[in-house]
Structures are given as C-alpha cells and as structure tokens.
Amino acid sequence: MAYLELTSLQKRFGGLTAVDSVSLAVQEGEFFALLGPSGCGKTTTLRMVAGLVTPDRGSVILGGKDITTEPPRARNLGMVFQSYALFPHLTVFENVAFGLSLRRQAAAAIRERVAQALDMVQLTGMEHRYPKQLSGGQQQRVALARAVVVQPRVLLFDEPLSNLDAKLREHMREEIRALQKRLGITAVYVTHDQTEALAVADRIAVMYMGKVQQCDTPVRVYEQPANELVADFIGQTNLLRGCVKQAGDQLTVVTQHAICVPLARDVNARPGQELALAVRPERIRLVATGRAESPGYTEGQVEHCSYLGSQIQVRVVIQNGALLVNTANLGGPLLQPGQRVGIEIHAEDCIIFAN
Amino acid sequence: MQKTALSLPIEQVAPRRRTGEQQWPFPALLPVLLLLLVSFAVPLAAMVRMSFNTKASGQDIVEAFSLVNYATILSDNFYYEVFGTTFGVAIAVTFFCLVFGFPLAVAYSHTRGTRKALLATIILGPLLINVVVRTYGWLILLSNRGLVNEFLHGLGLIQDPIKFLYNPFGVGIALVHVFLPFMVLSISAALQTMEPSLAEAAETLGADKPTVFRRVTLPLAMPGVVAGCILVFSGTLGAFASPLVLGGTSLRMLVVVIYTNALILFNWPRSAALAVVLLVLVLFLLWLQERWRAGRAAEGGAQ
Ligand SMILES: Nc1ncnc2c1ncn2[C@@H]1O[C@H](COP(=O)(O)OP(=O)(O)O)[C@@H](O)[C@H]1O
Ligand SMILES: [Mg+2]
C-alpha cells in the first residue's frame, strides 16, 4: 500500500466539478508532481490533502490511516503556499518557530531546530528580519523552512516558485529537490510549469479539467503521453490526423497534409482506420528538397524562424497546415522566411493515438 | 552537512521607499487648500483668539489676552465633573463599539457576494440617516412611555419604567449606534489586507481556530482596532445631537456644556476655551495613534 493514497476524490464548486474522481498513490519519500493547466483542479486536490478543503466524495489515506475528515492541524503536513503566506507581524525566527511553539517544545529545543532549519535554507543571520525586509527568494526559503521544521509527514507545495524570476526559479527547484531527497520527506508538488515538473519530479500526474490524464515518470509522460491532451500540454507537439492505407503488406498513414508515413510492422492498426500522429518539433527532420520518393517526406515553405538560443524553431507551412520544427543550433545561417525546405517524419518518432 | 545550493543567485531587496522624497503637487492642491484655509483655519484661529477674551456675567465680552478661562476650567470642580462624565461615556461607547464591531468586521471581511452586500447595508445603512433623525428615533424607543418600556411593562417584567433618558445610559446606546459603523469599517479594512492563506498556513502548522485568532488575526487587526477606537472615542467626545436630545442639559457632557455657554449664557470666551481643550485632547489622541503606528513601522511589523 502506498504511503499517501487518494481514492476517487471529488469536489464540486456550484455547477463546476473542480476535481473529478482523482485517484493517486504516492510512495514514501517520493517527489510527486501534479501538473496541469491553470484551473484544472491541482490546488483543490492539494488542499484536500492538507485538509483545507473537504472532498464531496472519496478519501485521503496517509500511512494506512483514513484522514479525510481530520482537521489540518491534526495531519502534521507542511505546506508551502504560492504566496508564501508568511506572517507579516512575526520575524523570520518567529515564523519558523510557529509550528514548534504550538507543539509545546522547550524554548531551547525550538531555538536549536529553527537554527538548523534556517541553516538548511541558508538564512542564518536573518532571524530578526521581518518578511517584507526579505527578497522574494528569501521569503520562499523562510516558507520552506517553516514547513520542514515541524518534520511533516508530507510536504505540500502549491506553485511555490511562480513569483520568482526565471533564473531563481531554476535554482530554487534544484534546491527544493535536493532538500527533499536529503530529508527523505514525501512531497506533493503542484505546478503548471511542465519544465519544472519534468526537472524535479520522480513521478508526474498530469491533470486536465479535474481528471488525472496520466500518472507516470517524467520520461514516459514526455515520450509516451497517454492521450492527445497530455501530448499537447507537455512540451510542444505537432498533431497530424490521418487515415491508414494498405499497400501490399505495408500499412501507411496518409495525413491530412498528404504526408505518407509508413508504420512499423508491430503497430496495431487496420486499413481505413482514422488516427492521429503526434510528433515533437525536435523529432522532425529538415532535409534537402526534392526527395519526393522518401517515406514521410513533404516540402514546405519557411514562414518564421524563432531563435531560442540552443535551438532554432522553424514554422513551416505545408499543404493544409503548418508544422513546428526544432533544429539544434549548429552555428549555420538562419533559414529565411519564404525558403523552401524538405521535411521528413519517421514513424518511430511519432506517438500514435487511435481516434 | 551537505549544502544544497551551489551558489546563491544575486538578488537584492528593493530599497525601501523614502517618504521625504514625495513630489508636492502644490499647484493642483491650491484651490482646495484655499477653501480649507477660509472655511477651517480662519474660524479655528478666531476661536482660539476668542478663548483668551474675558466676560463677566451679565457684561460684554472684553478683548484681552487672558488665561482666566483656562484657569477656571482647570480649577472648577464643575468642569472636572464634566470631563469625568464625558470620558466615562466615551470609554463605555468605545468599549461596546469594539465588542460589537469586531465580530461584525470579521464576518464582513469573510463573506462574499450577495451576503456581503447585505451585511454592508445593515452596517452602513444607519450612516445614510441623519443623526438627529436617528436620535429622535431613540427618543421614541427609550422614553418612559416609549416602545421599550411599554413592551417590558406589557410582559410584566417591570413595574416602573426604566429611565433611559437624561442619563448616560440612553446617550451611550444612541452613540454606540452612531459610531459602530466606523469601528466596523476600520477593523475590516485591516482584516481585508490579511490574506486568507495566513490563517490556513497557521492551521496546517497545528493551530486550532482560537489560536489562529489570537496569534494571527488579532495582531494583524490591531492597527484597525486602534484606529477604530480612537475614531469612536474622539467622535464621542465631540458628539452633540444625541447627548443634547437624549441627555438634556442635566447630563453634563462636554459638548453640551460648550453649547450652553455659547448660546444660553453667551459666554463665548469660556465656550471657546472649552472647545480648544476638546480640540487639544483629540489631537493628542491622534498623535498617540500616530506614534504607536510609527513604532510598529520602525519595528518592521505589519503595514
Ligand atoms: N473556493 C472555490 N469556490 C469556487 N470555485 C473554486 C474554488 N476553488 C477553486 N474553484 C474553481 O475550481 C477550479 C479548479 O481550481 P484550482 O484547483 O485552483 O485549479 P488550479 O490550481 O489547477 O489552477 C477552477 O475553475 C476554480 O475557479
Ligand atoms: Mg492553483
């Protein structure tokens, strides 16, 4: 049995089902991310774990015990809020000591543990500052220290980095991950940022419209998305709808753009079937023009080139649509708008979704 | 112990805004300042000047620079009684406004939507009705043959009517009614700056509701409580209609005594001196509040 289990959690707000039968199992010590677009029910799910929202149906089981109806104070969880929720009238020391003082610890023990926690987040020496005298990143660290100092059974994060700038965000996410692994605390981490989730999580549950679409490791969520929604949300995806044709014993998908992509022998498809191919921009190859007989080949015209630093993203207009193609920045001249290019799509680079 | 961070990215705390550097939009303010000067500062100066004049009973006012009015106020037992009554009523009114106002403010800042609009109407509605009209309303309710006494008598709970009028009791009731909205507004203004997630953070850290109130809500509401108390207290000191109508001249509230001196005894100098004393008292209270606020700000605490 998993350490933290959510079974068929359901929460409605008026006519809106914010969380729709969500079942998840989080292992002890795992860094588990809840990922999805804004408004998909991540926060509500997390708040049901924390006890700040009461589910309409379903249960929350922690360490084998049903805690669905327990109040937040009885759960011993640490939560890091999106806004940090630091107490503005208390110093850094008092903020971090808040949970310990409620646990009736001796003053000396509190001082020692607060000092340890502040050392852990590198805020030693800031004890007597007030939250508004700290930068956003430092406030974030105080919130983190305040949550871990009580030795919670699970650490809950609600988009903890969304108020920081990009550089600091990357830095802090590594730090949070390292801290979590070092302390061995189970963590549930809510984010709408796929890069963040892919970078830090052991496993990711992708949510959409209140439902869990896929729950898997970052690699599998990216490489083998369970459905078009996941493929579309994680990273960028070109979705090519098409129909299966048979020539001899070779099955081929002919897409709406008139690209013929031969399928591997082991793919389970039958002639006449409608399906969709999802292919990542970095898996489409740009080739020389005039190779009309090669499988998966088509030609198009460069519409626009985005320089992304390590990569260059090209938008290519083809028959009945356009494709995004990423190429590694190897230092050559940029493609010019209007230039004709050849494109090759191979079946092994595609994820196939039956319609 | 292994450190998690590789290096701390450079990130500075924004320098605190200096208040002395504010642009002074003087030209734009000029018309308003002129209006205030003519309608406020000039009469005020005239009043202060008047307080140094003298008047013996039955005679004309004599232009002078005399402190005799202040000396009388500070030495006559009558005025000690006046200040005693006035402060007593003001303290009681402030206390009850706080006791009733705090829960109302909490409720007001926690509700949303139509319920909030309803609460706002109930709390703020009385402000739309003139104080004199409301005072006469209380007169109808509280007089010896008023609704309250008739009702209690009808129930057989009392034989003789309860005397609400011409004593501090009735005036207190009316003034609590008048000043309650101000208390509610200042406390809820303070509570509204408090994010809901603060209470939730406290709860996840192990606090029950009373602890959340004591250690988070109350300290954050304090600026509003102090502002509300000073507003109500100084407002009660200066209240006129309710003390006069419900207390009469026999209940010696400061403003009623000023009124009596000015318009019945025609002793304008003494009346002006009393008004100056009242003004100084109120300014002193505001100064106290400002010092308290500045002390908190220097400490770095809330707001
Ligand atoms: N207290 C609430 N009352 C009404 N609707 C809510 C409440 N909390 C969340 N919602 C709605 O539920 C949906 C999911 O919200 P939320 O869990 O906050 O999404 P996310 O965190 O994924 O952005 C949203 O449409 C939101 O408007
Ligand atoms: Mg959210």
- Give A128-140 pLDDT, tens digit per residue: 999 999 999 999 9
Say which DSSP state A238 is in.
E
Cα(A47) to ligand 2 centroid in Å equals 10
A353 in Cβ contact with A309 (< 8 Å): no
| Among the listed residues A163, A194, A160, A162, the one whose alpha carbon sits nearest the alpha carbon of residue A180 | A160
CA atoms A14, A17, A19, A21: torsion sign: positive
DSSP-H helix ranges across chain A: 42-50, 92-102, 107-120, 136-148, 166-183, 194-200, 218-223, 228-233
* Superfamily of domain covering B61-294: MetI-like (1.10.3720.10)
- How many beta-carbon pairs below 8 A join chains A and B? 101
Please say if the pLDDT value at position B79 is more than 50.
yes
**Can you tell me the ipTM of this complex?**
0.85
Pocket of ligand 1, candidates A20, A22, A43, A159: which has the most ligand atoms within 8 Å of its Cβ, to mutate? A43
**Minimum-distance ligand 1 atom for the alpha carbon of A44:** 17
> Which of A11, A44, A81, A193 most suits a substitution to test ligand 1, by most atoms within 8 Å of the C-beta?
A44
Full pLDDT tens readout for chain A, 355 residues:
799 999 999 999 999 999 999 999 999 999 999 999 999 999 999 999 999 999 999 999 999 999 999 999 999 999 999 999 999 999 999 999 999 999 988 999 999 999 999 999 999 999 999 999 999 999 999 999 999 999 999 999 999 999 889 889 999 999 999 999 999 999 999 999 999 999 999 999 999 999 999 999 999 999 999 999 999 899 889 999 999 998 878 888 888 888 888 888 888 888 889 999 999 999 999 888 888 778 889 999 999 999 999 999 999 999 888 999 999 998 888 889 999 999 999 988 999 998 7
The reported pTM is: 0.81
Model confidence pLDDT, tens digit, residues B149-171: 999 999 988 888 888 888 899 99
Dihedral (CA of A259, A262, A267, A270) sign: positive
Band of the pLDDT at B23, cuts 50, 70, 90? low
Average pLDDT over residues B210-233: 93
Residue type, A206: V
- Residue of the CA atom closest to atom 11 of ligand 1: A18
Rounded CA Rg of chain A: 25
DSSP code of residue A347: G
